[in-house]
Amino acid sequence: MFIPVKDLNPRRTYPIVNIALILANFAVFIYQLTLPPHAFKAFLLANSTIPARLPAALAGHAPLETAILPILSSMFLHAGIAHILGNMLFLWIFGDNVEDFYGHFTYLMFYLICGIGAGLLHVLFNWNSMLPSLGASGAISGVMGAYLILYPKSRILTLVFIFLIPIPAVVILVLWFFLQFASGVSSLGMAASGGVAWWAHVGGFLLGMGITSLARQR
């Protein structure tokens, strides 16, 4: 068991946007739970990213907005309690310091751009798939990529079996990225069967690294 719990990097400002994003995700999840089963399924299908919608829209067989808008709305949907708790834990750990660097409004734009970019890469790697994809992990991967660029030496308090050990962020984040990339490569050529959107994680992470590298240079 290898679970990051808390970063030991102090922040300079109150992470109002990061907290608002976490609250928004929980609010949508609670709304999902209030829906009866048929409405719950319809809500997820309408607002999740379904890759095959984009080629259908480009061919003129469906409205373009039904393919594009869910890439944004799916970032606030989650499939279950473990899904949302895991995502929000990582956003809580890494997001506050990245918001420190960007400032509140720019951080929000950065988060959304990473999430949309991650969603588009998932669509490209699953062009004809009818399986819905949902969750904030693509955007959060972008935040993690930014953290790697900004604070590689920061310590992350990590639960390793039963011990809490401070581990450099570069170790945690590079290992995490390697696992996502390896899983993505191993899934190439296989029939889509649901599960984790590996390439959304990879794309979001690299996009977050790239944007933040450019921002640091400026």
Active site residue 137: yes
Mean pLDDT of the chain: 92
pLDDT value at residue 1: 66
* Residue 147 banded pLDDT, cuts 50, 70, 90: very high
With beta carbons less than 8 A apart as the criterion, state whether 211 and 110 touch.
Answer: yes
pLDDT value at residue 188: 74
pLDDT value at residue 187: 76
Q: How many CA atoms lie within 13 A of 4 on its CB side?
A: 26
Q: Could you read off the pLDDT of 151-196 as tens digits, one per residue?
A: 999 999 999 888 899 999 999 999 999 999 998 888 776 644 455 7
Query: Cα 78–163–157 angle (5° rounding)?
Result: 60
pTM of the model: 0.94
pLDDT value at residue 193: 47
Q: Could you read off the pLDDT of 103-126 as tens digits, one per residue?
A: 999 999 999 999 999 999 999 989
Percent of the chain with pLDDT over 90: 79
As a whole number, mean pLDDT of residues 47-57 equals: 93
With beta carbons less than 8 A apart as the criterion, state whether 112 and 24 touch.
Answer: no
What is d(CA 125, CA 197) in angstroms, rounded to the nearest whole number? 10
pLDDT value at residue 190: 61
Does position 17 have pLDDT exceeding 50, yes or no?
yes
Which is the catalytic residue, given 137, 141, 154, 187? 137
End-to-end, the C-alpha distance of the chain in Å comes to 39
As a whole number, mean pLDDT of residues 36-63 equals: 92
* Residue 144 banded pLDDT, cuts 50, 70, 90: very high
pLDDT value at residue 51: 92
Q: Coil, helix or strand for 68?
A: helix
Superfamily of domain 2-217: Rhomboid-like (1.20.1540.10)
Which is the catalytic residue, given 78, 133, 154, 201? 201
Q: Count Cβ atoms within 10 A of the Cβ of residue 10 and give its class: 0-12 exposed, 13-18 middle, 19 or more buried.
A: exposed
Question: Cα Rg for the chain, rounded, in angstroms?
Answer: 17
